[in-house]
Chains A and B, each alone.
Chain A
Amino acid sequence: MTLFTRTTKNLIIKIDEFFDNVELGILVFREGIKSYITKNQTDFDRHLLKVDVLESNADKLQRAIENDMITNSILPQHREEVTRLIDELDEIIDSVKSSLNDFNIELPEIPESLNEPILSLVEASASSAEELIPAARAYFKAPYTVREKLLKVYYFETETDKISKGIKKQIFQKMPELDLAHKAHLRYILHHIENISDIAQKAADLLAAMSVKIIT
């Protein structure tokens, strides 16, 4: 029985740590893009380094959680969904890391007029992913409240889509001074940013189904 208790406690801590890592990763992403746009290279490098560490930690925790759940046969009836949820959340931090790395390698030139809209896009996309974390935590403690928490995820995801559409229109229809390659590059960068909210929405769909399953 002591063995069960110890394993359970460790696993709960690992899951919480994993969520913390993803949450911090999203925060770092938001700050990282801000520092890139404001051309603060020192801060940007610091955030890049931080996200690397967080992503690596998340990977280790993900593997440890999956191992623990399988070897100790924890949550046998919901194990598959829980590991899928962890996978989806890990994909968010992976995407955050790859976005910041792309900014670092490709050094996209962002016209001044797009600074504000892009920051709004980052804000909405990151908020969508951020709102997913309390919902995911609630799945383990109060599954009845998961669906209401997910509403914000869907709201921010729709906002992200709207903002992104507006920016793309602006780039392709109102900025003739930019050449096509530059426009395509900016669109690619936008895709990277909005991708985070898309992953959050996918995870939210999964989480909604999981919460229904666990309370019935």
Chain B
Amino acid sequence: MILFFLISGLFLGWSLGANDASNAFGSAVGSKMISFRKAAVIASVAVILGAVIQGSGTSETLGRLGSVNAIGGSFTLAFASAATVYLMTKFSLPVSTTQAIVGAIIGWNLFTSNRTDPATLTTIVTTWISGPVLGALFAIPLFMLIIKIKKRSGMHIIRFESHLRTGLVIAGAFAAYSLGANNIANVMGVFLPAFNLHELNLGLITLSSNQQLFLLGGMAIAAGIITYSEKVMKTIGTSIVQLNPEAAMVVVLAHSVVLFIFSSAALSSLLVRHGLPAIPLVPVSSSQVMIGCVVGIGLYKGVRNINFSILGQIAAGWIATPVITCVLTFFSLFFFKNMFNIDVGHKIPVGTDIQEVTVTADPKTSEIMRYLLLGIILAGFLLATYYYFLERKKRKELLLSEEKFWKNIK
């Protein structure tokens, strides 16, 4: 039963993968620099790695905003967020999974009479604004640099484009890694306190309870990328962000740097060690940071290039998404609690540590999770091998047909 509740989180992860992965590889796939299949494989692997290796930082911040102490509550939060994201996307309104989940947590706090920490909330909201601004600030010098290199190097355009393609793949993989690290908290963060799984030994590495959930969430994001992001990626590359390959690479790179900064605990503690203020580890909206980067390039090229209505839409999204999700979560919690008699959480006494509210799961859950994860990893490995041999076969067939052609000509 406890695993059933995870479905809403996995659905949220799937929609995150379907929508936000396009930010990492949309420009490359849309401009046909790399094929969708290659992009999907690289993005899926990178997103899973980012989630498992570096996902804990942003999750802690969300935990401080509200530590959901019942699995029914986690289910409802993820469900309300996924529903808001789905509905707003359907009506073509700018939406961010991050803002949806924050709104949902506040909704849960209101319903269970828990206090929302104003300091944490302020930190989170500040990064929603500073994220796109930082994106723009990173994008401008990077764009200037790449244009200078292109003009002065006198490189063959095919070689330059090859370097650009390599750059796009690396930047895309980095962006997908950062997406996993930064946004996994949105997908699995609310479920963390409700699970206490046994450690999973994979031979080379051992995964903690949280990491197992992050791995599952990462896989859900990967599933979203593989099954549904192709159309979004092609749209991003051809209509919304009509950029040349150089600008596309800059946008992807700058946006992934911002996402990485807001999820790197190591970087934050390095700054603290040097007497500088710590970086808030907060999930930020990848799409909005991306738009910030595009605006930065637009500013560099001339203000005329900027579509100010998009900026207005983003600002509206900042307010509308958390408010709608908060209201929806509040009523959903009321509905689930009273109609199905599900425990959706309770008030946490002031001064209680977050770890103390952990709900211990059934020991059998660890076993099921172990087989589930191992099964998915094995299936992924088999699929990747199949894909590799398929590509090899295609190349061989092309070579053979070419040889045949020239033989017949003779």
Question: Judging by beta carbons under 8 Å apart, are A67 and B165 in contact?
Answer: no
Given contacts A76-B33, A77-B245, contact A141 B156 (CB under 8 A): yes
Minimum Cβ distance to chain B for residue A5 (Å): 7
Name the contact of A12 in the complex, choosing from B159, B165, B166 (C-beta under 8 A): B159
Question: B398 in the interface, Cβ–Cβ < 8 Å?
Answer: yes
Size bracket of the B interface: 20 to 34
Q: Does A114 contact B (CB under 8 A)?
A: no
Min CB gap A14→B, angstroms:
10
Contacting residues, chain B, for A141 (C-beta < 8 A): 154-157
Name A77's contact: one of B31, B159, B166, B169 (CB within 8 Å). Answer: B31
When A67-B398, A143-B157 are in contact, do A8 and B162 touch as well, CB less than 8 Å? yes
B34 touches A75 (CB 8 A): no
A residues 33-83 in Cβ contact with B at 8 Å? 60, 63, 67, 71, 73-78
Minimal beta-carbon separation of A133 from chain B (angstroms): 16
Which residues in A have their C-beta under 8 angstroms from that of B402? 63, 67
Q: What B residues does A75 contact at CB under 8 A?
A: 157-158, 161
Q: Is the interface of A mostly helix, strand, loop or mixed?
A: helix
Instruction: Tell me the complex Cα distance, A75–B245, Å.
Output: 10
Q: Do the beta carbons of A8 and B244 come within 8 Å of each other?
A: no
Out of A1, A71, A76, A142, which one reaches B166, CB within 8 Å? Answer: A1
Contact with B along A1-35 (1 / 0, CB 8 A): 10011011001100100000000000000000000
Residues on B with beta carbons closer than 8 Å to the beta carbon of A76: 31-33
B157 — which chain A residues lie within 8 A by C-beta?
75, 78, 139-141, 143, 214
Any A CB within 8 A of the CB of B308:
no
Given A60-B406, A67-B402, A77-B245: A8 and B33 interface contact (C-beta under 8 Å): no
Q: Report the separation of the CA atoms of residues A60 and B409 in the bound assembly, to the nearest whole angstrom.
A: 11
Q: How far is the CA of A144 from the CA of B150 in the complex (A)?
A: 12
Contact B33 A71 (CB under 8 A): no
Which of B34, B154, B162, B406 has the largest number of chain A CB atoms within 10 A?
Answer: B162
Cα A184 to Cα B161 in complex, Å, equals 51
Interface size on A, residues (CB 8 A): 25
Q: Does B206 contact A (CB under 8 A)?
A: no
Question: Which chain A residues border B89 with CB–CB below 8 Å?
Answer: none
Residue of A nearest to B34 (CB): A73
Give chain A nearest CB distance to B34 CB in angstroms: 7
Q: Which residues of A contact B31 (CB under 8 A)?
A: 76-77
Q: Does B313 contact A (CB under 8 A)?
A: no
> Known interface pairs A77-B244, A77-B245, A141-B154. Does A71 touch B398 (Cβ–Cβ under 8 Å)?
yes
B35 at the interface (CB under 8 A from A): yes
Q: Which chain A residues lie closer than 8 Å to B162 at the CB level? A: 4-5, 7-8, 74
Question: Quick check: B33 and A73 within 8 Å, CB to CB?
Answer: yes
- A214 proximity list for chain B (CB < 8 A): 157
| CB pair B35 A73 closer than 8 Å | yes
CA distance A11 to B159 in the complex (A): 10
Distance in angstroms from B221 CB to nearest chain A CB is 25
Is B158 within 8 A of A11, CB to CB? yes
CB-nearest residue of chain B relative to A71? B398
Bound complex: CA A73 to CA B162 (Å)? 10
Q: Considering the complex, give the chain B residue whose CB is closest to the CB of A59.
A: B409
A7 to B244, CA, bound (A): 22
Q: How far does the Cβ of B404 sit from chain A's closest Cβ, in whole Å?
A: 13
Interface 1/0s, chain A 167-178, versus B by CB < 8 A? 000000000000
User: Does the CB pair A140–B156 fall under 8 Å?
Assistant: yes
Given contacts A1-B166, A60-B406, A71-B398, whether A8 and B158 have CB atoms under 8 Å apart is yes
Q: In the assembled complex, how far is the CB of residue A61 from the closest CB belonging to chain B, in whole angstroms? A: 12
Contacts of B34 in A (CB 8 A): 73
Interface residues of B in 13-55 (CB under 8 A from A): 31-35
- Distance in angstroms between the alpha carbons of A12 and B33 in the assembled complex: 18
**Which of B159, B169, B406 is A8 in contact with, Cβ under 8 Å?**
B159
Contacting residues, chain B, for A4 (C-beta < 8 A): 162, 165-166
Residues of A within 8 A of B159 (CB): 8, 12
Contact with A along B152-178 (1 / 0, CB 8 A): 001111110110011001000000000
Most central of B31, B156, B157, B158 by chain A CB within 10 Å: B158
Question: What is the minimal beta-carbon distance from B174 to any residue of chain A, in angstroms?
Answer: 14
A7 to B165, CA, bound (A): 13
B157's nearest neighbour on chain A, judged by CB, is A140
* Assembly CA distance A60 to B398 (angstroms): 15
Q: CB-nearest residue of chain A relative to B244? A: A77
Q: Nearest Cβ in chain A — how far from B400, in angstroms?
A: 13
Across the A-B interface, the 10 shortest Cβ-Cβ residue pairs: A76-B32, A8-B162, A4-B162, A140-B157, A140-B156, A1-B166, A73-B32, A12-B156, A12-B158, A8-B159
| Interface residues of A, Cβ cutoff 8 Å to B | 1, 4-5, 7-8, 11-12, 15, 60, 63, 67, 71, 73-78, 139-144, 214
Report B's interface with A, CB cutoff 8 A: 31-35, 151, 154-159, 161-162, 165-166, 169, 244-245, 395, 398, 402, 406
A-B contact sample (14 more), CB < 8 A, given A8-B162, A74-B161, A140-B157: A1-B166, A4-B166, A11-B158, A63-B402, A67-B398, A67-B402, A73-B34, A74-B162, A75-B157, A75-B158, A76-B31, A77-B32, A77-B244, A141-B155
